[in-house]
């Protein structure tokens, strides 16, 4: 029998659900939340009722996150989505003292350096929202439709690597799903295996 710690570590690394996390289900109502953003203001998912919402879990020290920001893949997707009246929320579930945890000013500086275009940057320091969504990796992506139903959960794209050279060859799942939703079509790929660094929850 594998030690429990090894099983948990393996699950976190590859983004598999663990016994402790009951994942939010695609096709059902997205879990509600209220979090503080990088300016100190409270933001609730309910604030964006009637709009499509993208959730992006981040950790600026993760090489997989760096891949998509340094190559401008995530910033360009954010910009295009926001221009189309989509709300893009970046969530940081790194606990204090863990890799990726920052304060609001630092988060704003990092995102500005990356020319990010998210709507808000939110702090989930106790990990409650990440756990509710069963977010496992950075990045880990979710799309919620205007009725508040979760329509996509999974990877940002189809090639699980930290190599920026793979981006042009990969299917970009979030823009694909957003385009389908905007056209009134069902999302053709509603779930995929997330990849990246394990989220640094306080009890992980």
In the prediction, which pLDDT does 22 show? 55
Q: Judge whether 65 and 73 are in contact, CB under 8 Å.
A: no
pLDDT of residue 2: 35
Output the pLDDT for position 203. Answer: 85
Consecutive H or E run containing 77:
helix 73-83
Q: What is the pLDDT of residue 7?
A: 31
- pLDDT of 192 higher than 70: yes
Residue 187 in any domain: the answer is: yes
Is 8's pLDDT higher than 50?
no
pLDDT at 146: 98
How far apart CA 102 and CA 142 sit, in angstroms, is 22
Residue whose C-alpha is closest to residue 118's, from 174, 197, 46, 167? 174
- Mean pLDDT on 137-166: 98
pLDDT at 13 over 60: no
Number of domains the chain contains: 1
pLDDT digits (tens, 9 = 90+) for 15-61: 333 334 456 899 999 999 999 999 999 999 999 999 999 999 999 99
Q: Please give the average per-residue pLDDT across 182-203, as a whole number.
A: 97
The pLDDT of residue 10 is above 50: no
Sheet strands (E) in the chain: 34-37, 42-44, 53-57, 87-92, 120-123, 137-138, 141-144, 150-154, 197-198
158, part of any domain: yes
In a domain, 78, yes or no: yes
pLDDT in tens, 102-139: 999 999 999 999 999 999 999 999 999 999 999 999 99
In the block, which residue shows the tokens 């139903």? 149
- Global pTM value: 0.88
Give the CATH number of the domain where residue 170 resides.
Answer: 3.40.30.10
State the pLDDT at residue 88: 99
| Predicted local confidence at residue 33, as pLDDT | 98
Looking at the domain assignment, is residue 87 inside a domain? yes
- pLDDT at residue number 48: 98
pLDDT digits (tens, 9 = 90+) for 72-97: 999 999 999 999 999 999 999 999 99
Q: Using CA atoms, how far apart are residues 81 and 5, in angstroms rounded to an integer?
A: 39
Domain that holds residue 44: 30-198
Q: What is the pLDDT of residue 21?
A: 42
> Is residue 1 one of the residues assigned to a domain?
no
pLDDT at 24: 87
Whether residue 86 is contained in a domain is answered as yes
Residue 14 lies in a domain: no
Local confidence band at 3 (pLDDT 50, 70, 90 cut-offs)? very low
Continuous segment of H or E residues that includes residue 76 = helix 73-83
Residue 5 lies in a domain: no
């Amino acid at each position: 029998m594998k030690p429990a710690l090894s099983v948990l570590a393996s699950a976190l690394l590859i983004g598999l659900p663990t016994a402790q996390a009951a994942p939010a289900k695609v096709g059902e109502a997205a879990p509600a939340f209220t979090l503080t953003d990088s300016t100190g203001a409270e933001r609730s998912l309910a604030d964006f009722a009637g709009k499509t919402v993208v959730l992006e879990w981040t950790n600026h020290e993760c090489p997989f996150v760096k891949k998509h920001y340094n190559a401008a893949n995530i910033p360009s997707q954010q910009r295009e989505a926001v221009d189309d009246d989509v709300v893009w929320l970046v969530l940081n579930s790194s606990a204090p003292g863990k890799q990726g945890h920052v304060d609001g000013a630092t988060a704003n500086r990092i995102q500005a350096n990356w020319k990010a275009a998210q709507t808000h940057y939110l702090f989930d320091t106790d990990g409650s929202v990440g756990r509710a969504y069963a977010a496992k990796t950075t990045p880990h992506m979710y799309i919620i439709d205007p009725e508040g139903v979760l329509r996509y959960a999974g990877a940002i794209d189809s090639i699980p690597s930290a190599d920026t050279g793979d981006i042009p060859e990969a299917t970009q799942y979030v823009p694909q799903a957003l385009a389908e939703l905007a056209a009134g079509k069902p999302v053709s790929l509603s779930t995929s295996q997330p990849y990246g660094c394990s989220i640094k929850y306080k009890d992980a």
